[in-house]
Structure 1
Amino acid sequence: MLRTVIIDDEAHMRQTLENLVHQYCPNIEVVAKADGVESGELAIRRTHPDLILLDIRMEDGTGFDLLRRLDPIDFKVIFITAFDEFAIRAFRFSALDYLLKPVDPDELIDAVRKADATFQGDFNTQLDALSEHLKLQDKTARKLIVKTSDFIHLLCIQDILFCESDGSYTNIYLADGSRITASAILRDYEDMLADYGFFRVHKSYLINVRYIQKFERADGGYVIIKGDHKVPVASRKKELLLEMFERLAHI
C-alpha cells in the first residue's frame, strides 16, 4: 500500500481527492490530509508517507515552498494544479506527473501507477530539474528530462541537434555525436521544443535550426545538420523553412 498524504487548501478538493483514491486506487491508504505548507510539513514528518498529492498554490505558500522544508525527499509527489501554462511546460520538460483540476479519475490512476513504478532517485532527479525550470529565465540554459528503457537523461536543450521518429520512440541526436532513444513519440518533443528554436521539417524529423549548415534543393530538398546529418524536408515545409532563413538573415 502507498501511504499517502493529501495537501490542498480547499476542503472540498481534499475530500474529492480522498473519494477518488478510495474508489479508483485500491493500492493507496490516505494517512493524513492537510490544508497548507505548515500543516503539510507536520503531516509528512508525522506519517512518513510514500506519496503526496500536493496542491501547487495554497494560502500560506506553494507546494514547492513545502518541499524546500523537507530534506531529504524520500517520497513521491503528484502535483495538483489549476491551468498554468508556464508551470505545465516545466512539468513536461521534467517528465513529472501533474493533475489538472478538476481531477480526471483515469489520469489519477495513471499518475499513481507511474509514481509507484518510479525509483526514488529518478524521481528526485526529475524534481530537481523541475525546480531549475521554474527558476530559469534564460531559455537556452534549460534542460530536458529524457526517459529511455534503462536510464533517465538530463539534457541541455541546446545540445540537441535533431530528433527522429522511430515508431513509438524518438531518436535524439546530440552535438557530441551520441544518440539516445527516448520512450516518447516525436510529437511530444515538438510540443515542448517549439519555442526553443526547433522546427518540424518532416513528419519524422524535428531539427534545432541553430545547427543547420545548408539547404540542398536536390532530391526533393533536405538540410545538412552539424555532423553531416542529412535530414529530408517535406515539400509542404520547404517554403516555411526558406521564409525562416530569410527572417534570420535580417536579424
Structure 2
Amino acid sequence: MSIVNALIVDDEKLDRELLGNLINQYCSSITVLDQASSVDNAIQSINKFTPDVVFLDIHMPTANGFKLLDSFPDREFLIVFTTGHDDYGIQAIKAGAFDYLLKPIDVDELLATEQKILKVLEKKRKVFIPHVKVFHQGEHVLIKADEIVCVEAQGSYVKIFRIGGEHVVVPKNLKQLMALMKVDFLKRVHRSFIINTNHVIRYQTTGNELIVFLAGNVEAKVSRQYKQVLKDLLI
C-alpha cells in the first residue's frame, strides 16, 4: 500500500522519467505526485502537494538544489539528493539531507532509501492500520481493514471478501464492523454491502440499480441513496 507521497525535481527530463519509472516499478509504498524541472517549479509543487519526500537534483540551471532548501527552513518533508557527482556528500549532510543517491541510480540503493523513509515516517505518524478480530473455523483471525475488498450481509452473518480471493463468514453485522474499523476507505453503500473504495475497478448503472465491480471479481450493489455519494468519491 502506497503511504509515501513524493516529488521529483530534476532539470533533465530523461532523469526525471527514469527515477519515476524506477519508483513506480520497485517502490510499492511510494507514489510520485508530481515532477518539476526547476527550483521555482518545485516550490510551487511542494506548496500544492505537500509531499513526504523530495528527490532533488543538485545541478540545475538558474538555481541548484541547495537553493530550494532556503525557501523551506522549517520543512516537514524529507530531502533525498540525486546527483551524478560524488563530491557533495558533506554539503548535503550539512544542508539536512535525509539521503543521497548517485546517478545512475542503483535499484538496491533506491530500495534501501525507501525503507529508511518508511521507518522515519512510521515513527512520525505512528502509523496503525485498523483491523477486526473475527472467530472463523475455530480460530481468532485478525483482518486488516485495507485487506478487505467487500463485506456482504447474509442474515445474522457477514461474508468478508479479502484481497487474494479469500473470504470468511462470521456472526457479526455490518454496523458492528463499521464501528470496529473507522477508516475513510470503507463505505456502506447498501443495507447489505460495505465496500473498500480503494479496490473499486469500475461501476455500471442499470436502470435504478448501480453495481460496483471490485478486485477479485467481487460485485456489490449500491442503493439509490448512496449512488451520488459513491460517484463523488470515485471521480
For normalisation by structure 1, the TM-score amounts to 0.44
TM-score, normalised with respect to structure 2: 0.47
**Greater helix share, 1 or 2?**
1
Larger radius of gyration: 2
